[in-house]
Chains A and B, each alone.
Chain A
Amino acid sequence: MFKGMKDKHKEVIAAYGFLAPNLIGFLVFTSLPVLASLVLSFFKMDLLSGESEFVFLQNFIDLLKDPYFMKYCWNTIYLMLAIPISMAGSLLLAIALNQKLKGAVIFRTIYFLPTICSGVAIFMLWRLIYNPNFGLLNTMIAQIGELIGLKLVGPNWLTDEAWAKPAFIIMSVWQNIGGYNMILYLASLQGVPRELYDAAEVDGASSWQKFWNVTWPQISPTTFFIAIMSLIGGFQAGFDQAYIMTGGGPNGATTTIIYYIFNNAFEWYHMGYAAAISWVLFLIIFVITLAKWRFYGRNVHYS
């Protein structure tokens, strides 16, 4: 069929053939929807009544005045307290695993489990763990109280507005401490040139000094990378656990930006408003990504 055709043309035809299935799907389900979403954010669109009206920037103006949106942004940022805590933990675990001990692989596998098994089942488990009456955590708190002769009563983790966010942070640290970040730190630690430590030892540096003057600066690109990726993830996080464990409550204390988008779009069918929020979210992530590019400069290129 292709006989007599120039090789170059054959190659182009083959290329589009290989590309076609993915490209069509990509256009239909990713790139065109991005544009559609931008257009949508300029409309007031109610999917139930079928009304839609061009309002230009009104959605964004409403958003700036929306006290709920401000509150949920704050929630999202508050919950990101888990990031520095779990990063510090990941680094500590990585340092411990980097000591070339026997059984390190087993430990690494165990630490990875909470990351791998995230999702609805784990959030249901944590709803049970946080149960104020017979959950694991409050049972433990009461037991410790008995040991030291005090009557300790654990909080109503998920139904108390003051405790719901800390509860989510504890769970999130458990989930992320031994996951990808620890593996990245481990790899980064192993990449620190041996000579630097030797030189530091010759100078009589203590372990503590070696860490702050050799290890920490050497692994700082990894730290920066993990921090940026966690930030990007953090702004989009928080739906699954809140949906399963608290329904976004108590009193909106665990509703995050993504949950608000979901509610607007698929509970109340305010499609235009939801699209506007999603673009604000995109903008935040875009700014963070720019910061990342600026930091990496021309060292990172994709081709």
Chain B
Amino acid sequence: MGPNVRIPQAIIEKSAAMQRHTSPLIEIKVANPFKCCFKKGLIYLALMIGAVSMLAPFLWMVSTSLKSPDQVLAFDKVFWKEWIPTSFVWQNYVTVWKMKTVPFAMFYLNSIFVSVCITFGQVATSSMAAYAFARLHFPGRDKLFFGYLATMMIPGAVTMIPVFILLRHLGWVDTYKALILPGIFTAYGTFMLRQFFLTLPKDLEDAAKIDGCSYLRIFWHIILPLSKPAIATLTTFTFMGSWMNLMWPLIVVNTHSKYTLPVGLAYFQGVHGTDWTLLMAGSVMMILPILVVFLFNQRFFVEGIKLSGIKG
């Protein structure tokens, strides 16, 4: 589904495979200390060079967002001076936020609203469906699940065109419904949560069933609390995916006041293509929530992928 957020399949498939591995035994090795230190130093050097080249564009972005327009265009003879704003123009951020020509604050609110709705809808509907697939018996279950699986390899481009035509017939083009609804339903979310639910022990549920608990209560009080890591992972990926999604909002929304951030920034670039300081300030503001989500939830997807982890 085009507008959908895709959880990298790599993670789903691999995380299952990873659980089989156990971490290797502690390595005890006697080696030449000089050779060892030299080797370590080289590795650190390589890692540092890597880290600097990963970070440099981000630093450049932040520094540009704080420069005055003249400094962006000027070519400084001394290279390091390029990196530091001659005067820190914090005003750039205020200017972007209050711009008359481009309703940036509106884009921001739209993005928050749309992403939160999609994330909530996706987590709610796919966890329910995943529970049915993982735990309940009903006729046609396996065939239906196979149907879900089969659609996972279909490119979003295939469904995006008919969905657009459908929304157009419904008169939903240029509405929040069109932005949100198609993004909620993914086979990926259901698939991932089902795989996780299958790994949960059944004892608690069986006990609850004997006590006469309804399925809804089992789902709410047993399955969901036990699945916090998987749900956090799905939440994180869905939120990030819809926050970044450019193509779908581009297709279904025409009015500026309904633009989400990615389309809004693209439009901003169209209007103020050379105001680099403002464009970069807008970009920094777009990335900021993603950075926060990532840094706080890092363990959910990085640690989730490789369970055996490295000690820092």
Contacts and interface: CB of A to CB of B under 8 A. Distances in A.
B125 A25 contact: yes
Contacts of B149: 302
Interface string B140-166: 011011011101011111111111111
Given A37-B159, A229-B9, A278-B157, A22 B190 contact: yes
Interface string B74-116: 1100010010000000000000000000000000000000000
A279 B158 contact: yes
Contact of B286 (A29, A114, A120): A120
Contact of B137 (A15, A26, A105, A111): A15
Chain A's interface: helix, strand, loop or mixed, by majority? helix
A11 B215 CA distance: 8
A129 B132 contact: no
A193 B20 CA distance: 12
Interface stretch (B200-208, B227-235, B302-310): B302-310
Which one of A120, A192, A285 has the highest number of Cβ atoms from chain B below 10 Å of its Cβ?
A: A120
A80 B182 CA distance: 29
Contacts of B30: none
Contact of A117 (B129, B131, B145, B287): B287
Contacts of B124: 21
Contact of A14 (B18, B136, B157, B161): B136
B181 A266 contact: no
B208 to A, nearest CB: 14
Contact of A134 (B75, B141, B160): B75
A119 interface: yes
Interface in B208-228: 214-216, 219
A213 interface: no
B43 A30 contact: no
Contacts of A303: 142, 145
Which one of B126, B184, B185, B219 has the highest number of Cβ atoms from chain A below 10 Å of its Cβ?
A: B185
Contact of A11 (B55, B136, B282, B290): B136
B117 interface: no
Nearest to A302: B149
A116 B286 CA distance: 12
B312 A105 contact: yes
A99 B43 contact: yes
Q: Which range contains the number of B residues in contact with the other chain? A: 35 or more
A19 B265 contact: no
A221 to B, nearest CB: 9
Interface stretch (A56-64, A69-77, A135-143, A161-169): A135-143
Interface string A133-166: 1101001101100000000000000000000000
Contact of B306 (A18, A140, A183, A265): A183
Interface string A261-298: 11001100001001101110110011001000000000
A244 B57 contact: no
A249 to B, nearest CB: 15
Nearest to A105: B312
A184 B21 CA distance: 13
B291 interface: yes
Chain B's interface: helix, strand, loop or mixed, by majority? helix
A113 B161 contact: no
Interface string A91-103: 0110011111111
Interface in A79-125: 92-93, 96-114, 116-122, 124-125
Contact of B8 (A121, A180, A258): A180
A156 to B, nearest CB: 16
Contacts of B269: 124, 244
Given A190-B21, A194-B24, A110 B159 contact: no
A271 B165 contact: yes
B271 interface: no
A116 B10 contact: no
B250 to A, nearest CB: 8
27 contacts: A8-B137, A12-B138, A12-B139, A15-B137, A18-B132, A25-B184, A34-B151, A96-B50, A119-B262, A120-B246, A120-B286, A121-B282, A121-B284, A121-B286, A122-B57, A124-B280, A133-B75, A139-B79, A174-B54, A184-B305, A190-B23, A226-B10, A232-B153, A236-B155, A243-B246, A282-B155, A289-B153
Interface of B: 1, 8-11, 13-14, 18, 21, 23-25, 27, 40, 43-44, 46-47, 50-51, 53-58, 60-61, 64, 72-75, 79, 82, 124-126, 128-129, 131-133, 136-139, 141-142, 144-145, 147-149, 151, 153-166, 168, 181-182, 184-187, 190, 195, 214-216, 219, 240, 243-244, 246-247, 250-251, 261-262, 265-266, 269, 276, 279-280, 282-284, 286-287, 290-291, 294-295, 298, 302, 305-308, 310-312
